[in-house]
Amino acid sequence: MTIRSILFALAFLVAAPFSSVPAGAAEDIALAAGEKGGAYYEFGRSICRLLERKAEGLKCSLAPVTRGDAPDDSVSNLVNVNNNAAEFGLARSDWQYYAVTGTGPAKYMGGKLDGVRSLFSLHMQPVTLIARRDAGIKNLGDLKGKRVNIGRAYSSDRRSVELVMGAMKWTRKDFLLVDELSQADQRLAFCQNRVQAMFYMGTHPNDGVGQVVRLCDATLVNVSGAAIDEIVAAKPYLDLTTIAPDNYSGISEPIRTFGSTVTVVTSADVSEDVVYAFVKGVFENLPALKKSHSAFRDLDPAKMVKNGLTAPYHIGAMRYFREKGLL
């Protein structure tokens, strides 16, 4: 337990033994959202700003996070929440699943994290296949025999490509060239025609994707079909989705694909009242949250209470959802 948590516990016992959010006082909460400058940091900042303005009894700040060797901000956020270094955190649904089941690359978290609890999900992060228009890639099957970037080892892009390859029963030998470039490096390789296709897993709209579509004659390709439906059905942290055409110029139809979801988690040790106030502050101010970041524009309460949530619900979240008929 951290010094801050110990002090909070002592104050709790002396001042308000049956209430976690004393009347007339603001409760300090920390949200683990990843390294400064990253997408998750921006999502977290939007949530904290909303709670500061709209939520009664909460004072929200972003917890300092250093990713270190972790392959994703989700990992450090989940560990911080589990260890009570932060009351709340952002984590992609696949990492939430690995954390609470102790499976997959859970080694980065030291194994199963029993203290993590689900609150709600936010937006999808779709698997996005970007292809050169001159490559003749009209659908997922056309990717075979092409020059492809599959992303760095252990990255979210790589794991997405590996899911697709497994579904399609492909190996590296099925491609003319396989590169393992980062998201930043792959854009240059793509525009120089070293690779004809690349994958991106993240939020839309994305400036990097927009530049490639606009400047390098690229298009987005459906990642769909029976094989994809099967892997989504088999993995509780995945969902089918579409990328809206209005995200990028020159894309006229919705792009069918699948992906993970950004979720909000908390610790089992955070009190019911604090979690209730947090969830209420978000759900009762969704119009303001939607305006705060482009990734939030399509948030749907019916999906937020179920998509990508594999950890048990926190009792404070369940209390609010049941009051509103969402569970």
Taking each helix axis from N to C end, the angle separating 156-168 and 226-234, rounded to the nearest 10 degrees, works out to: 120
310 φ, ψ (degrees, to nearest 5)? -110, -20
Residue 17 has pLDDT above 50, yes or no: no
43 φ, ψ (degrees, to nearest 5)? -60, -45
Q: Model-level pTM?
A: 0.85
Distance CA 236, CA 254 (A): 24
* pLDDT, average across residues 27-41: 89
Helix residue ranges per DSSP H, the chain: 3-15, 39-54, 73-82, 93-101, 156-168, 183-191, 207-215, 226-234, 272-283, 286-292, 301-304, 315-323
171 φ, ψ (degrees, to nearest 5)? -120, 175
pLDDT given for residue 154 in this prediction: 79
In the chain, which residues fall in CATH 3.40.190.10?
Answer: 3-12+21-123+261-323, 125-260
Tell me: the pLDDT tens digits for 140-194? Answer: 999 999 999 999 887 888 888 999 999 999 999 999 999 999 888 999 999 999 9
What CATH class has 3-12+21-123+261-323?
Answer: alpha beta
DSSP readout, 222-246? ---SHHHHHHHHH-TT-EEEEE-GG
* pLDDT, average across residues 246-263: 93
Look at 9-13, 180-184, 214-218, 274-278 and tell me which has the smallest mean pLDDT: 9-13
What is the residue whose two structure tokens read 């939007």?
A: 46
125-260 topology per CATH: D-Maltodextrin-Binding Protein; domain 2 (3.40.190)
Confidence of residue 8 (pLDDT cuts 50, 70, 90): very low
Distance CA 20, CA 270 (A): 9
pLDDT given for residue 270 in this prediction: 97
